[in-house]
Structure 1
Amino acid sequence: MVTSFQLFGSIALGIVGYKIFAKFLPWAYINIFGPFLLGPKLDIRRVGGWAVITGSTDGIGKAYAKALAKKGFSLVLISRSLSKLETVAKEIENEYKVQIKIIDVDFSGGVEIYNKIKAGIDGLDIGVLVNNVGVSYPYPEFFLDSYQQNPKFLVDIVSVNIHSVTHMCALVLPTMLNRKKGVIINISSSAASIPSPLLTVYSASKAFVDKFSEDLQTEYRGSGITVQCVQPGFVATNMSKIKKASLMSPTPDAYVASALRILGYNIQTTAYLPHEGLQLAYEFMKYLTCAPYTAGFFFKHLMTMRKRALSRMSKGK
């Protein structure tokens, strides 16, 4: 005879099992079954002849430039250093035989820099925009200390990480809308969706990119525009200061290949399966404990990183 306690327990287990299944199935389709079994959902080569990439002389930005050139796109490379732009443009041009334009601007500048960019891309058949340029903290630091050490640095984070995204989208969207097709890839960060104390302004700026991308896609989905917000964890780049790639910290080329494979499956994505696993671990940890405890855990971790960075600086390393 089934007791009321056993019946209640069975119902509770059934509800939990259903919720896990309902969460897991879409996740598995977006991150595993879709990209790896069905292949890319969007043929990016059909959206236009030119791709515009900001922050394109190193790391993820350069990897996007190479990957898109390999697919036959002509490129507009935008970054601060003219010499680096010339070097990267020559390297990609020699390897992939595509047309390349370069525009040297400092995204920490004022709104006038976008006049230069607009003049440089005017009349081009732009199908892809990659908003990659970004600025982070040199090491984890308390908000007030960061401000007192360099007030302009915090202003620069907002200018580079937020204003660049909104202004570049405003520049390229008219062309995409006229042709009823286009892809916008906004590079956010996993710091936007997990506790990131001591990186407060950086993580908040990337959370803006998440929200902006989500609502921008809703506005223009019906006009043939695809928006992908990429939330990388650690990638072996100069910004992350990771010199040696590993499974959890892939090379920029490996990361971008994964991100392009997932294009069209989801608006917001870590774009790399091991990083997705870390995101799930965070959600599970928060579910088992509570938000304050989880935030405290990350705070302790970043405090340790801060102490190590200050120690290296004191030794002149």
Structure 2
Amino acid sequence: MNEDSFKHLSKHILLELSKANDALAITGLYFLSKKIFSSTCSVFQFIRTHVFSRATTPDLIKTYGGKWAVVTGSSCGIGKAYAEELAKRGLNLILISRDSRKLQQTAIQINEQYQVEVDFISITFDGDAGKYDRLKIELDKRDIGILVNNVGVMYDYPQHFLDVPSQRLWELVNVNIAATTVMTHLILSQMVERGKGAIVNLSAGGSSKPTPQMTVYAATKAYIDLFSRALNYEYKDYGITVQCLLPFYVGTKFSKISSKPGKLIHFIPSAECYASHAICTLGYSSRTCGYWLHSIQGCIVRAIPEWLWMWGASRLNQALRRQAKERLKSKSSKSLKEVDNG
């Protein structure tokens, strides 16, 4: 190869490299612009959902076309707190849960405090189809504008799959999946006929990724998330709003598992605090963590690789299991001492 040929080849290579660099630069600029646009939209949606939503108090009866709201799992925790928020806004309530005594107490309290009509129905969601048929007869008597599917069960404490009692596995399926699905089916038809209505389904913040030692619970909550998103797409043109709430730990739920939340306490709102924030997001977001600090947690969780999430979740759940067993052992020892003293 002579000198001229080498120079020509070098120029050709440099020209091709320059073109490749230009293409890479354009590609990089495209993805950077896409990322900036996506991040900007996320920030705007965060502000809209958690800031703008609290600036106004919409008329929920007018917006969703019914004077009544149904709340399942409403004898305590988020369900009770959400029911109170609905009552503050003038909706009459049908409270549904298992414990009739607690339901009656809650109904009386809300009635006296907010001067709204409050009915309650005691039911155990155990997969008995006949119970839903009887429930439908009662619900069809009312114009229901909002349904809150809050009822759910979780593990007593984190456990490996084979350590979870079979009875609890059935409860997870019948309560977390079946109850939400069938309750929605019972009430959605009257909302579609009216052309207005809202359904709020409670999932869980960690359901976006597999969670070892809470395996079945996380899977049932993932179902609620996917079910809600698809249902919202199907029925949004009929005037129906379907919202999925994905809370992380809330005071009452966390206290059942751990008595030592430690530095996480700032991220664990009370049920009342959570509900007061979550209800404001209705109509602003179809899928949200409901509480601004939980939404920040959600962004972090989505950014974490799945392997890292499962490793971290395993370590956390192992610690929570140890705490729970220590607490149970302490209670057992205390009970034995009381018996001996007696």
TM-score normalized by the length of structure 1: 0.89
Tell me the residue number matched to 2:318.
303
**24-33 or 95-104: which moved more?**
24-33
Does 2:187 correspond to 1:168? no
Amino acid at match of 1:234: Y
Q: C-alpha separation between the residues in 1 aligned to 2:109 and 2:57?
A: 30
Change (3 A) 1:238 1:36: closer
Name which of 282, 292, 304 aligns with 2:301.
282
Tell me the residue number matched to 1:36.
51
**97-106 or 245-254: which moved more?**
245-254
Change (3 A) 1:131 1:269: same
Does 2:196 correspond to 1:178? no
Name which of 222, 235, 241 aligns with 2:237.
222
Q: C-alpha separation between the residues in 2 aligned to 1:180 and 1:28?
A: 32
Within-5 A mapping of 1:89-100: 89-100=107-118
Q: C-alpha separation between the residues in 1 aligned to 2:59 and 2:150?
A: 21
Change (3 A) 1:64 1:237: same
Does 2:44 correspond to 1:26? no
Change (3 A) 1:185 1:240: farther
SS at match of 2:331: coil
Change (3 A) 1:239 1:57: farther
CA shift for structure 1 position 115: 2.2
Does 2:156 correspond to 1:141? no
Does 2:169 correspond to 1:154? yes
Q: C-alpha separation between the residues in 2 aligned to 1:41 and 1:100?
A: 22
**Contact 1:185/1:227 (8 A) holds in 2:** yes
**Contact 2:50/2:292 (8 A) holds in 1:** no
Q: C-alpha separation between the residues in 2 aligned to 1:170 and 1:42?
A: 26
**Contact 1:42/1:263 (8 A) holds in 2:** no
Change (3 A) 1:139 1:74: same
**Contact 1:60/1:253 (8 A) holds in 2:** yes
Tell me the residue number matched to 2:307.
292
CA shift for structure 1 position 211: 0.7
Does 2:120 correspond to 1:105? no
Amino acid at match of 1:202: Y
C-alpha deviations, 1:260-306, integer Å up to 9, x for none?
222123222111111111122223332xxxx3233222212212222
Change (3 A) 1:42 1:268: farther
RMSD over aligned CA atoms reads: 2.4
Q: C-alpha separation between the residues in 1 aligned to 2:27 and 2:325?
A: 50
**Contact 2:71/2:148 (8 A) holds in 1:** yes
SS at match of 1:264: coil
CA shift for structure 1 position 191: 2.4
Structure 1: which 5+ runs fail to align?
A: none
Change (3 A) 1:49 1:153: same
Change (3 A) 1:124 1:57: same
**133-142 or 292-301: which moved more?**
292-301
Q: C-alpha separation between the residues in 2 aligned to 1:238 and 1:280?
A: 21
Tell me the residue number matched to 2:273.
254
- Work out the number of aligned pairs and report it: 308
Does 2:64 correspond to 1:45? no
Q: C-alpha separation between the residues in 2 aligned to 1:182 and 1:252?
A: 24
Aligned-pair identity in percent equals: 36
Structure 2: which 5+ runs fail to align?
A: 1-16, 333-342
More helix by share: 2
CA shift for structure 1 position 258: 1.5
**35-44 or 150-159: which moved more?**
35-44
SS at match of 2:51: helix
Q: C-alpha separation between the residues in 2 aligned to 1:20 and 1:238?
A: 36
Amino acid at match of 2:122: D
Tell me the residue number matched to 2:4.
none
SS at match of 1:78: strand
Within-5 A mapping of 1:9-88: 11=26, 14-37=29-52, 39=55, 43-46=59-62, 47=64, 48-88=66-106
CA shift for structure 1 position 7: 6.2
Larger Rg: 2
CA shift for structure 1 position 34: 4.9
Q: C-alpha separation between the residues in 1 aligned to 2:156 and 2:321?
A: 10
Q: C-alpha separation between the residues in 2 aligned to 1:77 and 1:196?
A: 31
Change (3 A) 1:12 1:297: farther
**Contact 1:53/1:130 (8 A) holds in 2:** yes
CA shift for structure 1 position 136: 0.1
SS at match of 2:267: coil
CA shift for structure 1 position 41: 9.7
**220-229 or 31-40: which moved more?**
31-40
TM-score normalized by the length of structure 2: 0.83
C-alpha deviations, 1:223-245, integer Å up to 9, x for none?
10000000000111156526799
Tell me the residue number matched to 2:218.
203
Q: C-alpha separation between the residues in 1 aligned to 2:141 and 2:221?
A: 31
Does 2:137 correspond to 1:122? no
